[in-house]
Amino acid sequence: MLLKGILNHVEKQKGFVYSSVEWSDEKDAIYVTLKVAAEEAGHAVRVLDRFHVMKKFNEKINLVRASEAKQLKEDGYEPVLKNARWALLKRPENLTDKQTVKLKELLQYNLRSVRAYLMREDFQRFWQYRSPAWAGKFLDQWCTRAMRSKMEPMKQMAKTLRSHRELLLNWFAAGGELSSGSVEGLNAKAKLAMKKAYGFKSYRTIEIALYHQLGKLPEPKSAHRFC
């Protein structure tokens, strides 16, 4: 299948191959089965990877921020959380200058949104462990603190992490190299390609469009020049 070939060409992580790719017309998404093919791994490993965990964290932080911003407005306080969404959701190294200033301003306040942000940043230490045992101990301690945070979205996050503890620790069994970010990126590119064309009438057409977009194939020169 052409899309499977594209994925395996784009994905550079050693030891993993895409064994099947299936397009869903109903949900406008691409479903991918990833298999471990390294010599040291004799069977597939189910993993809850970093990409989806941190995405869920951002969803919870945004819920805390939206709720608190609404409460501050109702209570007549200064709207300090206005235009603060991306300052709280993006990684510090990815912030723009304006967002960096906004984050520095927010960190001066004892806001629930700030505490939720700091909890997410503290959890980043989980991915730095090399031992699943120590990572599991850190995970348990973090979840205990989150359950005492009095912030419902963060308590829900802790419950989610606890219920998927085994899958989280499997991330270390996979060498900490597995990420489905490339698959999510493919989904985003597929949706963008379809949006540009206002929809495709055939699956073959979107295969060709994705092949050109992901493979960066040369395109014929236009017959006209636009200045």
Each residue of 18-62: pLDDT tens digit? 555 555 554 444 444 444 444 444 455 566 778 889 999 999 999
DSSP 177: -
Using an 8 Å Cβ cutoff, are 21 and 31 in contact? yes
Residue-level pLDDT at 117? 97
Using an 8 Å Cβ cutoff, are 53 and 28 in contact? no
Residue-level pLDDT at 189? 73
CA distance 89 to 84: 9
pLDDT at 4 over 60: no
pLDDT digits (tens, 9 = 90+) for 154-208: 999 999 999 999 888 888 876 655 555 566 666 777 777 777 766 667 777 777 7
* Three-class DSSP category at 97: helix
pLDDT digits (tens, 9 = 90+) for 97-154: 999 999 999 999 999 999 999 999 999 999 999 888 999 999 999 999 999 999 999 9
Nearest to 190 by CA among 167, 163, 171, 209: 209
> What is the pTM for the complete model shown?
0.65
Maximum CA pair distance of the chain? Answer: 66
Residue-level pLDDT at 171? 80
Nearest to 113 by CA among 140, 77, 89: 89
Alpha helix ranges (H) inside 124-180: 132-147, 152-163, 165-173
- Categorise residue 134: left if φ over 0, alpha if ψ from -120 to 50, beta otherwise: alpha
CA distance 155 to 196: 40
Using an 8 Å Cβ cutoff, are 88 and 103 in contact? yes
pLDDT band at 67 (very low <50, low <70, confident <90, very high): very high
